[in-house]
Amino acid sequence: MRMWLRHHISRGRLSKRVNGCLWQLLEMSAECSKANQLMRNTSRTQRFSRSSVTDRKQVGTAKANPGEIDVGTLCVGEARDGSPVELPVVVINGTESGKTLYIQAASDGDELNGVGVVHQLVPQLDPSKLSGAIMIVGIVNYYGFQVAEHRNPIDDTKINRAYRGNEAGSSSERIAYATYDIASNADLILDLHQASTSKMVHETRVRCGSKHRLHDQCLKLARAFGCGHIMDKKGPRGQLARVAPNDGIPTIDPELGGAVGWDKESIRVGVEGVFNVLQTYDFLTGQSETKPQVRANDMHYYSAPAGGLVQFEKELGQRVSRRETLFTVTDLFGAPKEEVVADESGIFWRCRRLPQVASGEYVCSVGTNIDEY
């Protein structure tokens, strides 16, 4: 439209009075276009900003110059009453140049051990002793966290199946988009998880797949975290740890056991793992002491053949031989009904927390194709 008006004005086909009005409209249109572009740029800057002049880091409203730490919020939408939905964020900006680490927790709303890691980690970080920067989103699944639900109750979606997200999509897609807009500026990503409320070994998941160009780098990051076990198996679409390596960012899912609420030991393992990464990748001085990890390249899942109460014959982390009994289902009075044996050797990896089961209900997992890394 602007080109058409300019053409006819320049040809003198319109009256002077009309020409003057049209020129004013053209100028107003140009100003609106500039304003819209500025708003789009500002929107992205409010999520993440890195100043080349001052080396200031910004995530949402949190801004930190070198040697500073700041806490703020990241707006990811509006609630049903129109109030802003804001995620808690932290930026720790070191005094020396270096890599940038992105950490997020609670993309599944009932997985609180990652929140416990952030809760204990941040007070221990001194930006004056840090090289590079750390960006943290403390709670990703805002709605799920409020009601202690795994999925986002607004759209009944697992946020860790929604990456890279969609700025104009569903609630979960918008949250994924906003958080990935920050994460994609990092050199390394830790997406803190746990086995929901079931029980599991402490493990780190490499989800990009063994043939991925960044597989070795993701595996190195998993070993650096050093929580004892690695599950090296390609993850489902939409997982942050599968998507980010496609953009050249080594990413892992530390799975910090499983609990209802917080588990102190799992949180301790998580905090120690983050510090291992910070030392391995030269954010902090010192040398981490990580040992070879037990790696599972596949997983076998077992369900209950009958309803009743489960009695496990194995403890988490124990070796399992093929045809060895994993659990027995009994009736209410202790009489055995069904026995389930392992169809492959491996490690007793994960099991349900509550003993009561219905026929066909999940009971436990065995990590298979085991080696050390």
Are 281 and 186 a contacting pair, CB within 8 Å? no
The burial of 231, by beta-carbon neighbours within 10 Å (0-12 exposed, 13-18 middle, 19 or more buried), is given as buried
3-state SS, residue 245: helix
Amino acid (1-letter code) at residue 79: A
Q: The pTM is what?
A: 0.86
Q: 79 — alpha (psi -120 to 50), left (phi > 0) or beta?
A: beta
3-state SS, residue 134: strand
Domains, the chain: 2-44 (no CATH), 51-291 (3.40.630.10), 295-372 (2.40.50.100)
Instruction: Answer whether residue 300 shows pLDDT above 80.
Output: yes
Within 8 A by CB and 6+ apart from 360, the residues are 303, 304
pLDDT tens digits for range 123-140:
999 999 999 999 999 999
Are 325 and 312 a contacting pair, CB within 8 Å? no
pLDDT tens digits for range 352-371:
999 999 999 999 999 999 99
261: phi then psi, degrees, rounded to nearest 5: 85, -140
pLDDT level of residue 24 (50, 70, 90 thresholds): low
Strand partners, 299: 367
Residue labelled with tokens 């910070």:
278
pLDDT tens digits for range 148-207:
999 999 999 999 999 999 999 999 999 999 999 999 999 999 999 999 999 999 999 999
**Alpha carbon 285 to chain centroid, angstroms:** 26
Average pLDDT for the chain: 90
The burial of 113, by beta-carbon neighbours within 10 Å (0-12 exposed, 13-18 middle, 19 or more buried), is given as buried
pLDDT at position 54: 55
